[in-house]
Structure 1
Amino acid sequence: MTNLKDVETPFLTVDRSVVQANIGRLRARLDGLGVGLRPHVKTAKSVEVARLLHNGTPGPITVSTLAEAEAFADAGYRDILYAVGIAPHKLARVVALRQRGVDLIVLLDSVEQAAALAVDRTGMAGIPALIEVDCDGHRGGVAPNDPILLTIGQTLRDGGADLRGVLTHAGESYFADGDDALRAAAENERRCAVLAAETLRAAGHEVPVVSVGSTPTAHFATDLTGVSEVRAGNFVFFDLVMAGIGVCTVDDLAMSVVTTVIGRRPDKGWILTDGGWMATSRDRGTARQRVDQAYGLVADLDGALYNDLLMSDASQEHGILSIRPGSTAPVPDIPIGARVRILPNHACATAAQHDRYHVIEPGSRTVQDIWTRITGW
Structure 2
Amino acid sequence: MSIFDQIRKPTLLLDEQIVRRNIRAMAQKVAASGVHFRPHFKTHQSCQIGEWFREEGVSAITVSSVDMAKYFADCGWDDITLAFPVNLRQLDEIAHLAERIRLGVLVESVETVQALGERVRAPLAVWIKVDVGANRTGIAWDDVETASALVKTCQAYPALRLNGLLTHAGQTYQAAYPAQVEEIYRQSLSKLQSLRHVLEQQGLAQSLILSVGDTPSSSIVQDFRPADEIRPGNFVFYDVQQWMLGACTWENIGVALACPVVSLHPRRGEAVIYGGAVHLSKEYLLSKGQRFYGLVALPKDGRWSEPLPGAYVSRLSQEHGILRLFPHQLEQLRVGDLVCILPVHSCLTAQSMGRYLTLDGNWIEMMPRF
Return the offset for 1:223.
4.3
Residue of structure 1 in register with 2:151 after alignment? 153
Q: Do the aligned residues in 1 keep the contact of 2:38 with 2:60 (CA within 8 Å)?
A: yes
What is the DSSP-based 3-state SS (H/G/I as helix, E as strand, rest coil) of the residue aligned with 1:42?
coil
Residues 328 and 196 of structure 1, relative CA distance in 2, 3 Å threshold: farther
Amino acid aligned to 2:310: D
Map residues 196-345 of structure 1 onto 2, 5 A cutoff: 196-202=195-201, 203-284=203-284, 286-287=285-286, 294-302=292-300, 303-304=304-305, 305-323=307-325, 331-345=330-344
Q: Show structure 1 runs of 5+ residues with no match.
A: 361-365
* Aligned partner of residue 336 in structure 1, secondary structure: coil
Show the 5 A alignment for 1:65-104: 65-100=65-100, 102-104=101-103
Which letter maps to 1:318?
Answer: H
After TM superposition, the score normalised by the length of structure 1 is: 0.90
Return the alpha-carbon distance in structure 1 between the equivalents of residues 267 and 146 of structure 2. Answer: 62
Residue 139 (str. 1) matches residue 136 (str. 2) = yes
Q: Find the aligned partners of 1:336 and 1:283 in 2 and give their Cα distance.
A: 26
Amino acid at match of 1:141: G
Residue aligned with 2:3, SS: coil
Relative to structure 1, the CA distance from residue 319 to residue 107 in structure 2 (aligned partners, 3 Å threshold; closer, same or farther) is same
3-state SS of the aligned residue for 1:5? Answer: helix
Whole-angstrom distance in 2 between the partners of 1:90 and 1:38: 23
Aligned residue for 2:4? 4
Contact 1:11 1:259 in 2 (8 A): yes
Aligned partners of 2:18 and 2:254 also within 8 Å: yes
Aligned residue for 2:356, secondary structure, equals: strand
CA contact (8 A) 1:293 1:310 kept: no
Runs of 4+ with >6 A deviation? none
Distance 2:4 2:289 in 1: 30
Q: 1:109 to 1:225 in 2, by over 3 A?
A: same
State the alpha-carbon separation in 1 of the partners of residues 166 and 213 from structure 2: 9
Deviation at 1:58?
A: 6.5
Distance 2:291 2:33 in 1: 34
CA–CA distance in 1 between the matches of 2:208 and 2:369?
Answer: 32
- Which whole-Å CA distance do the structure 1 matches of 2:114 and 2:48 have between them? 37
- Which position in structure 2 is the counterpart of 1:165? 164
Aligned partner of 2:363 in structure 1 is 370
Partner of 1:363: none
Q: Deviations over 1:194-223 (max 9, x none)?
A: 223333333232444321110011123344
- Aligned counterparts of 1:264 and 1:244: Cα–Cα separation in 2: 28
What TM-score does the superposition give when structure 2 sets the normalisation length? 0.92
Q: Is the 8 A contact 1:62 1:80 kept in 2?
A: yes
Question: Cα RMSD between the aligned structures?
Answer: 2.1
- Judge conservation of contact 2:8–2:260 (CA < 8 Å) in 1: no
